[in-house]
Amino acid sequence: MSASTPQDTATANVEFNQLGKPLTRTDAAGKVFGTTPFAGDYAMPQMLHLQVVRSTVASAKLLKLNTEKARALDGVVEILTADDLPNPSATPHFHEAYGEKRPMTDPPLLVSDRIRFFGEPLAVIAAETSEIAAQACALVEAEYEPVQGVYDPQEALQPGAPIVHGEDNIMVERKIRKGDVAAGFEDADLIVENTYRTPFQEHAFLEPEVGLAWVDETGVINIRTCAQDIEHFRMIADVLDLPHNRVRIRGAFVGGGFGGKEECAREIYMALMALKTGRPVRLEYSREDSFVGHGKRHPMILRYKTGVTKDGKISALDVDILADSGAYLYLSANVLLYAAVAAPGPYKVDNLKVCARAVATNNMYTSAFRGYGAMQACAAYEQQMDEVAKAVGKDPIAFRQQNYLKTGDPIATGFVPPGAIWTDQCVDRAWAALGPRVEPVEPHIKTGRGVAAYQQSYGKVSFLGDTSEAWVGVEFDGSVVVRSGVADIGGGQVSSLAQIAAEVLGVGLDDVTIYKTDSALTPLAGRTAATRTLSMTGNATKKASEAIRSRLLGRAAIEFGVKPSEVLLSKGRVLVGNAPEKSMRLGDLARLCHIDGIQASELAMHCATHADLLDSETGQGQAHPDYTYGAHAIEVSVDTETGEVRILKSIGAHDVGQCINRAAVEDQIEGGAQNGQGYALSEEMLYNEGKLMTPSLSEYLMPTSMDMTEVESIILESRSGVGPFGAKGIGEPAISAVAPAIANAITDAIGVRIFELPLTPERIVNALMDQES
């Protein structure tokens, strides 16, 4: 790290053929013209239609589930209940964390006795048409005995509160201890303590869950599904008590994931039903099903106590995070790990104490969502940074500058990220891009601006281990094939891999064809989650491409009588300088290799650095491979009479390490700005005793194009990441800082902070009234 820090090398004169340019993604045309098949477009003869029967109460004993009337309905073929499961303790939960209380907290596949949340699956119906399945659904009679539920995480911790599972409601506890917090607070001239609240959030992908399953002529269960993870075939096989190689998942382009398509209960239902009926089965969620059918973003209550010196140095930080895990654990253990690791933000805090807990309630369960706990922490720490700056009379940016982590500094867990930390450049660039302030004309309008910085990991939790594979081959005409089990969830994952292969092999993006997302036929690439796909599968693709390139150059060097280092691959040709006689088509070289038995293809695996578990008491160790840093700046106008907020400027500045496709990076930043804006201002999942009161897109209000301003993307490239060509991840980082930047801008406009997201017009009006009185 010493002599050649990433900053030093960042401006190196690197020339790429196409990397970093704003190319049209390989999947764009099919999606624009509507020719790309999604999972829901597949159908088979004799196909049955499934419907999930769900509980209509949040907390009860299931006394009886009467399916007779539903079975009697003409066209109903099969109904599965808990009694029909091959393995009654089967769970759609994948264990991949430590510190879980298992198996008590595992969700059942279908409820047999105890209902813990509204909409919990009770039965699955297969019928000749989806209409009949829906009718049958209404004919299933459930007898409940009400059980007192608990719907507030703070209440769930009180003595005497109803217990959702086992002995108490604490599902997970994560700790970080660093330095001497008590001494740090003693050194402080000022202590600022605030509590921030963040809400549930729904992924609301364009494509609700859908899939098709059938048993093929060899007895293998095939599942065509929209999923972020096709490697759930293992879990599905375990539930069915089949060998892993008897279940095959074939993906399709996915219409959005955001963490909401990592679960696999619906694939298990399809597999069970296909086996039981011997017919293809299709399960499609309506938007309403989707709202109750997958876990949400964890709402959190985050108490921040910051000690600061007069000159603006953070001397101690004590953070307590309480998350609502809902009725089941799902991925809460890891989400809380992310929250704890992120808790101090991109700041140097030598004396740190973090306690992050997830508590069971009878609310909808919570699980993965873009940002994965770290984003909620950012919503709190960046508001707190503004509050502390104000308390010590400092400019918010100047105060941040004094406390930024710098490249080479250890983060909260003591780990030194291998990549650069360019928070300062990102904040400065985003802030400067706001330009002159918009001065309001009308007396009831006020404007304000805010900024927020963040630290967000990319890559899976290091103690889990992570590998990804890709196969690359050059054809005799110079075209290139890439095979990878990667799931493209709309971020351009597949196109980026094609671009990496094209860059290394000196061909155009159009010359590459990708075969993707088949757990049987394409090399396994892992889940498209945790902002890991580019760094993991991108590296695997690069590694495979480079191995081929090396062999090709070796063979060409012999052909032309030069050294391999003198051979170039460019635009589908093999060249040595400008010598016309020392030149051939790439395909001809591949053919030469074939004749000589030199392999013009390669299967490569990339393996992330594995680390031990974090220390359970101090949280010290390596949590992730590396982190992305950046900032978002916002200017708002606020109608002080109605509380309406308008986003006037929205600017994301992120160090992405190295752009693969600039247009795709901008897409992520713009999408993150929209997703974060909804979280900050308008998206609300209102629950009443566990029942969702806003279960449609007319009540759950995501920003429309009318609500968005043009988002400006500022892309910095430190070329310091652990991804291919020094790339970092941007999928999750793009959303991290948006909400706190908006909150800070609104506070700047109206002069009072609202400590609970979303910042609805009503909350703003109430805050202004409180301020007056």
Partner 1 sequence: MSCAYDLKVPISLQNALDLLSDAQSMPLAGGTNLLVEIRSGKERPQRLVALDRIEGLAGIDINSETITIGARATVGDLLRSTELAKAAPSLVKAAGVFAGQMVRNAGTIGGNIACASPAADLVPPLMSLDAQVTLQSSSGSRVVALDEYYQGYKQDVRRPDELVTQISMPRLPDQTHNRFYKLARRRGDAITVVGLAVTLTVSDGVCRKARIAMGAVAPCVIRARNAEALLEGNVFDAAMIETAAAQAAAECAPIDDVRASAQYRRHCVRKLTRRLVAEAWNDLEAKVEADV
* Residues binding partner 1 (CB under 8 A): 131, 134, 286, 444, 641-644, 681-682, 684, 686, 693-694, 698-699, 701, 703-707, 760-762, 765-766
**What is the distance between the alpha carbons of residues 485 and 546, in angstroms, rounded to a whole number?**
20
| Least separation in angstroms between CB 137 and partner 1 | 8
Cis peptide before 418 (omega within 30 of 0): no
496 φ, ψ to 5°? -65, -40
Cα 552 from Cα 538, distance rounded (Å):
21
Question: For residues 58 and 716, which CB has a smaller minimum distance to partner 1 in the complex?
Answer: 58
Q: Which is nearer to partner 1, 74 or 617 (CB)?
A: 74
We find the least distance from the C-beta atom of residue 43 to partner 1, in angstroms, to be 19
192, 232 in Cβ contact below 8 A? no
- In the bound state with partner 1, the residue whose beta carbon lies nearer, of 134 and 191, is 134
* Helix axes 533-560 and 493-505, enclosed angle (nearest 10): 20
Shortest CB 661 distance to partner 1, Å: 29
From CA 756, how far away is CA 69, in angstroms rounded?
47
> Phi, psi (5° rounding) for residue 729?
-95, 155
Asked if 304 contacts 384 with a C-beta cutoff of 8 angstroms, the reply is: yes
Quick check: 690 and 680 in contact, CB under 8 A? no
Picking from 458, 492, 391, the residue whose alpha carbon sits closest to that of residue 630 is 458
Name the residue nearer to partner 1 (CB basis): 478 or 758.
Answer: 758
The distance of closest approach from Cβ of residue 40 to partner 1 in the complex, given in angstroms and rounded to an integer, is 17
- For residues 242 and 263, what is the distance between their CA atoms, to the nearest angstrom? 20
Least separation in angstroms between residue 420's CB and partner 1 is: 38
Residue 750 Cβ vs partner 1, minimum distance, rounded to whole Å: 15
Residue with Cβ nearer partner 1 (616 or 688): 688
For residue 449, give the 3-state DSSP assignment: strand
The residue whose two tokens read 């599905």 is: 236
Residue 346 or 643 having the CB closest to partner 1: 643
Q: How far is the CB of 739 from partner 1 (least distance, A)?
A: 16
Provide, rounded to whole angstroms, the least separation between the CB of residue 672 and partner 1: 18
Kindly state the smallest distance separating residue 744's Cβ from partner 1, in Å: 21
Least separation in angstroms between CB 706 and partner 1:
3
Give the three-class secondary structure for 583: strand
By the 8 A CB rule, do 306 and 317 touch?
A: yes
Nearer to partner 1, 163 or 693 (CB): 693
Which distant-in-sequence residues (6+ apart) come within 8 Å of 283 by Cβ? 49, 50, 51, 52, 209, 210, 211, 266, 269, 270
Candidates 740, 263, 715; CA nearest to 527 is 263
Q: What are the structure tokens assigned to 543, written together?
A: 């590694």
State the nearest-atom distance from the C-beta of 703 to partner 1, in Å: 6
For partner 1, the closer of residues 7 and 286 by Cβ is 286
| Least distance (Å) between residue 223 CB and partner 1 | 25
To partner 1, the closest distance from the beta carbon of 701 in angstroms equals 5
Give min distance, CB of 772 to partner 1, in A. 12
Alpha carbon distance 104, 608 (integer Å): 32
DSSP state of 253: B
d(CA 545, CA 531): 22
Residues 253, 490: Cα–Cα separation, whole Å:
7
Which is closer to partner 1, CB of 391 or CB of 765?
765
**Which one, 8 or 131, has the nearer CB to partner 1?**
131
Which helix H or strand E contains 675, and what residues bound it? helix 662-681
Of 158 and 766, which CB lies nearer to partner 1 in the complex structure? 766
Nearer CB in complex with partner 1: 139/392: 139
Distance in Å, CB of 767 to partner 1, minimum: 12
Tell me how far apart the alpha carbons of residues 240 and 273 are, in angstroms, rounded to a whole number: 11
Residue 251 or 643 with smaller CB distance to partner 1: 643
170 versus 708: smaller Cβ distance to partner 1: 708
Q: SS3 sequence, 69-135?
A: HHHHCCCEEEEEEHHHCCCCCCCCCCCCCCCCCCCCCCCCCCCCCEECCCCCEEEEEEECCHHHHHH
Comparing CB distances to partner 1, the nearer of 287 and 571 is 287
Tell me the one-letter amino acid at 170.
Answer: I
Read off the tokens for 192.
Answer: 């600022």
Which residues, including other chains, have CB under 8 Å from residue 297's CB and lie 6 or more apart?
199, 200, 201, 202, 366, 369, 371, 376, 679
Query: Between 496 and 760, whose beta carbon lies closer to partner 1?
Result: 760
Query: What is the smallest separation between the CB atom of 738 and partner 1, expressed in angstroms?
Result: 16
Q: Using only C-alpha atoms, what is the Rg of the chain?
A: 27
Question: Residue 598 or 701: which CB sits closer to partner 1?
Answer: 701
- Please spell the DSSP secondary structure of 704-726, one letter per residue: -GGGPPPEEEEEE----SSSGGG
Q: How far is the CB of 52 from partner 1 (least distance, A)?
A: 13
For helices 662-681 and 738-750, the axis angle rounded to 10 degrees is 50
Residue 306 or 682: the one with the smaller Cβ distance to partner 1 is 682
Selection from 762, 708, 699 nearest residue 738 by Cα: 708
Q: Supply the minimum distance, in Å, between the C-beta of residue 42 and partner 1.
A: 22
SS3 328: coil
Q: Using alpha carbons only, what angle is made at residue 107 by residues 144 and 63, rounded to the nearest 5 degrees?
A: 15
The per-residue DSSP string of 499-540 comes to: HHHHHHHT--GGGEEEEE-BTTTS-----S-TT-HHHHHHHH
